[in-house]
Amino acid sequence: MHDDRALVENRLKRVLDERIRPAVYPASTPLDVAVWHAPGEPVPVAEGLTASPAPIAVGDAWGAPWGTSWFTVTGTVPAEWAGRTVEAILDLGFDENMPGFQCEGLVYRPDGGPVKGLNPRNQWVRIGAPVEGGEEVRLHIEAASNPVILDYHPFLPTKLGDRETAGSEPQYRLARMDLAVFDETVWQLVIDLEVLGELMAELPVDGARRWELLRAVERALDAIDLQDVNGTAAAARAELAGVLATPAAPSAHRISAVGHAHIDSAWLWPLRETVRKVARTASNMTALLEDEPEFVFAMSQAQQWAWIKEQRPEVWARVVKAVNDGRFVPAGGMWVESDTNMPGSEAMARQFVHGKRFFLEEFGVENEEAWLPDTFGFAAGLPQIIKAAGSKRLLTQKISWSQVNKFPHHTFLWEGIDGTRIFTHFPPVDTYNCSMKGGEIAHAARNFKDKGVARHSLAPTGWGDGGGGTTREMVAKAARMRDLEGSAAVVWETPAEFFARAEAEYPAPPVWVGELYLELHRATLTSQAKTKQGNRRSESLLREAELWAATAAVRTGFAYPHERLDRIWKTVLLHQFHDILPGSSIAWVHREAEKTYAAVAAELNEIIDDAQRALAGNAGSGELVFNAAPHARNGVPAGGAAMAPAPTRGGLRARDEGGYVLDDGLLRVEIDDRGLVVSACDLRAGRETVAPGQAANLLQIHPDFPNMWDAWDVDQFYRNTVTDLVDADEVTPGEEPGSVRVVRSFGRSRVTQVLTVEAGRLDIRTEVDWHETEKFLKLAFPLDVHADRYASESQYGHAFRATHTNTSWEAAKFEACNHKFVHLEEPGWGVALVTDSTYGHDVTRTVRASDRGTTTTLRVSLLRAPRFPDPETDQGLHRFRHALVPGATIGDAVREGWFLNLPERRVPGDAEVAPLVTVDDDAIVVTAVKLADDGSGDVVVRFHESRGGRARARISTGFTATGVAVTDLLERPLAGTAAPEPAGGSVAVSLRPFELVTLRFSRS
């Protein structure tokens, strides 16, 4: 037989586009439209419904950037449509090629009840099925004219990303506003032909099924009278019924479709707009659930649920009903889909505490999966945190975005730093916006790496970010692929149902040990420095506030500020969302974040001050030093307060060759006349830290213009060009005794550094007035250390990475994340670099010709200057603190990291404060001391082994404990775990490497 595939396939495309799809709505009549433009920020629904609108015509421009317009559409259903199905088609000026990221609307009835959202691929509102004719139609649309930031020419700098700079030019043109007859038979024919046409294109040409589909499609096209599509659609469908009824092969891949809308909690829109995006999508999805009995929708991020509850009660009522029906399902168990590289230990834990608690309290639902489809890589501390939260599974799709290496599994056990293993699934559909296209379904089946031992995968299905979620078309396509020869078999299921199947069929999946590094978006560890500093400072202040408030509550009856801390935690957790903390949002978001972090700091400092004043007493003229760090410092116990002298700083003297020497008897640092550290001698070990002939504290600047995703990405070629900033304007003694001040100018920017030596540590305070464009600023420390690997602090421990690039996997990690420290060591001697706020770093090695020694260069990333999506990213004044700690063991690195981030506080008073909790082994780090969230007054203590070894210790309480329980992160006693036996005011504990433990002490 002749091969006529192209002929039939092209015919299918043209007839679908030009004849069949237009026949879905065979008759229409225009609606009358009026509009009221809200003058500023969004107004309450009642105000929008009662405003006085002015007429507007289809074709007219509307919508200043970030504006809100309330449209009122009115009309009468024509009498001759009696008995037909009628819909309103409300096209605000959408571009269907972009299913999200544009204007959006939420349709209301005149009584204020929400109907559904309007989105680029979801423009219909059902009026009646059937109508009687003559019905009066009146609908209101709350339309948001959010500008398109990520355009067809992506990553161009734009001023649209902030209301203050976006101007007032209308962004959209009102398109179609009609009442129309909906011909369901034609609509079903479109779905039949799409499913079969898309499946056909994926099937092998030498297989019979492909040709069966081709011939059936041809017969259907023959059956259509192109002058009367509506009259002949049923006949065409009859020609397709046979091939649609042939069942899937027994070995077919099984896809659990989960209705979904990945809604970024802020990104190319501000936080306030996400509230409305969520309300629109939830309205769409509750409506679709009513129409489609098999459909299931899952929504993650407890924060988004809370927004609906608090701000859109009319939508919330519908959501609650659908949840109670088991079909609108809470997914994951986190407050937001956060970044997981940068959040600190406790913050990562609290994401789960607050996320899981919301779903438990509202619905009695406890999710066992972490749902993070879009997060930019996964720190190796996460498995233990997931487990400690009472969960056991993880879903993400993002690792498929890696630039270089293809991940070897789709279903596997992920093992974290402490050995905890989590059942993990990467959907092989490679998208979190699946639209049930045949190509996507076939790709999932082909791509699945675990064929032969497993056959189930998950497909998050629906448009996110203002696309409106799952569409009725996706549901109709899934129904046809439920059991269809040649296709993977698709069924709607909840994430929990999928995981149960996947675990059951795959009892011994392969294991991946260590971080799930995303080989992309590496610059998110640096972009928007102020957002990152706000996060780190908030985390530190939250620790202090909980510690001192709990101590004061137990000792003095101080009112523990449960509600304030709960609210502040949720604010900080929200800002760890995977486009806020990573610095990839528009200017508006980061401008607001800076203000929010300032308010958070002010409120937390107030709580800390009040608690410390309550503890310090009124008497005396002394000065107490409060130490919130987990280790004793300068004679002050961890978590306590005592009288203590000011620490002594090393002395300063002139250096013979020019420059200065700082020396405290433990460390001697030589700073040359360029302001560079040419020597840092650990006097106890008699050992030089800086590589011979090199200089540390070296600022280096690179051009930094990635191929795409400017705020997200730094591409490897950035390193090909570098300028060392060695010219100093001034190198002088600083104002403070024992300090050296270095000033440099470069480009349009200026750096001032102050260097001091104290307690064997070189402290470096760096102030940058940054006015560069598309540049990357690094601070380099070439170290005389020979090490194959180095440690970076992560949550509840640290992870190791290679210093070499033997394989493509190691080479791809050319920028990585640290929390408070990075540590390198040879047997017997090591060095740490600690930081109060930077996260990005790189480590490289060279071998010197002179002495064949190894120079391992650690560089911390200070600032970038991308121009998309915020064209002014990081412009202005920044302050950083770093410290170089020669001779540091891993334990020293841990301790110095905490010290730098939790400076001691000096408070008038003389009532020394004994710690609430004391641990007699420094390897154990207490990360939280707080009162139990349930208001019982119990004291909750969370701690972990911090060095990667074993620890045995006694935990002593500075109060009378009447009982103790081992709990999960949510402070619930762990079933089957024996509580340690209290004896003489303390309990003995024994911890595995990096093991995390939460103890809950009751008191009388």
- Minimum CB separation from Zn ion for residue 578, in Å? 6
- Minimum CB separation from Zn ion for residue 351, in Å? 15
**Backbone torsions φ then ψ of 642, nearest 5 degrees:** -155, 165
Q: Report the first-to-last Cα separation within the chain, whole angstroms.
A: 90
In the block, tokens 């190691």 appear at 810
Residue 74's identity, in one-letter code, is: T
The residues facing 731 across adjacent strands are 742
Nearer to Zn ion, 374 or 921 (CB): 374
Where does residue 594 fall: left (phi above 0), alpha (psi -120 to 50 degrees), or beta otherwise? alpha
Is 999 in a helix, a strand, or coil? strand
Helix axes 184-202, 438-447, angle to 10 degrees: 40
- Minimum CB separation from Zn ion for residue 299, in Å? 14
Of 147, 166, 710, 171, nearest to 466 (Cα)?
Answer: 147
Nearer to Zn ion, 397 or 540 (CB): 397
- Minimum CB separation from Zn ion for residue 844, in Å? 31
Q: What residues contact residue 651 under an 8 Å CB cut-off, 6+ apart?
A: 662, 663, 664, 738
Is 934 in a helix, a strand, or coil? coil
- Cβ(176)–Cβ(89) under 8 Å? yes
Nearer to Zn ion, 187 or 432 (CB): 432
Q: Which residue is nearest to Zn ion (CB)?
A: 374
In the block, tokens 């090393």 appear at 650
Where does residue 623 fall: left (phi above 0), alpha (psi -120 to 50 degrees), or beta otherwise? beta
Residues recognised as catalytic = 374
- Minimum CB separation from Zn ion for residue 452, in Å? 33
Nearer to Zn ion, 374 or 609 (CB): 374
For residue 236, what are the CA distances in angstroms to 20, 211, 217, 302, 354?
11, 18, 9, 46, 54
Residue 131: how many other CB atoms lie within 10 Å: 20
Is 345 in a helix, a strand, or coil? helix
- Minimum CB separation from Zn ion for residue 268, in Å? 11
Nearer to Zn ion, 274 or 795 (CB): 274
Nearer to Zn ion, 127 or 399 (CB): 399
Rounded to an integer, what distance in angstroms lies between the CA atom of residue 835 and that of residue 866? 23
**Backbone torsions φ then ψ of 584, nearest 5 degrees:** -105, 20
Of 329, 333, 268, nearest to 303 (Cα)?
Answer: 333
- Minimum CB separation from Zn ion for residue 120, in Å? 18
Cis-peptide, bond into residue 869, ω within 30° of zero: yes
Chain centroid, CA 862 distance in Å: 21
Q: If you write DSSP's letter for every residue of 705-720 in order, what string do you get?
A: --SS-TTT---GGGGG
Looking only at the bridges linking them, the beta strands covering 28-30 and 177-182 are: antiparallel
Nearer to Zn ion, 72 or 300 (CB): 300
Binding site for Zn ion (CB under 5 A): 264, 374
Taking the CA atoms of the chain, what radius of gyration do you get in angstroms?
A: 31
Nearer to Zn ion, 264 or 339 (CB): 264
- Minimum CB separation from Zn ion for residue 332, in Å? 13
- Minimum CB separation from Zn ion for residue 577, in Å? 8
H or E, element range at 229: helix 229-244
Residue 470's identity, in one-letter code, is: T
The pair of structure tokens assigned to 937 is 């007054």
Q: If you write DSSP's letter for every residue of 126-182 in order, what string do you get?
A: EEESS--S--EEEEEEEEEEPPP-S-SSTT---GGGSTTTS-----EE---EEEEEE
Nearer to Zn ion, 373 or 866 (CB): 373
Nearer to Zn ion, 870 or 938 (CB): 870
CB-count exposure of residue 164 (10 Å: 0-12, 13-18, 19+): exposed
Nearer to Zn ion, 432 or 994 (CB): 432
Question: Residue 20 carries which DSSP code?
Answer: I
Q: What residues contact residue 314 under an 8 Å CB cut-off, 6+ apart?
A: 45, 112, 113, 114
Is 795 in a helix, a strand, or coil? coil
Nearer to Zn ion, 527 or 998 (CB): 527
Rounded to an integer, what distance in angstroms lies between the CA atom of residue 89 and that of residue 99? 17
- Cβ(323)–Cβ(329) under 8 Å? yes
- Minimum CB separation from Zn ion for residue 593, in Å? 17
Q: Is the dihedral of CA 958, 960, 966, 972 positive or negative?
A: negative
In the block, tokens 């600032």 appear at 863
Q: What residues contact residue 293 under an 8 Å CB cut-off, 6+ apart?
A: none
Residue by residue, what is the 3-state secondary structure of 515-527? CECCCCCHHHHCC
Nearer to Zn ion, 374 or 758 (CB): 374
Rounded to an integer, what distance in angstroms lies between the CA atom of residue 827 and that of residue 845? 18
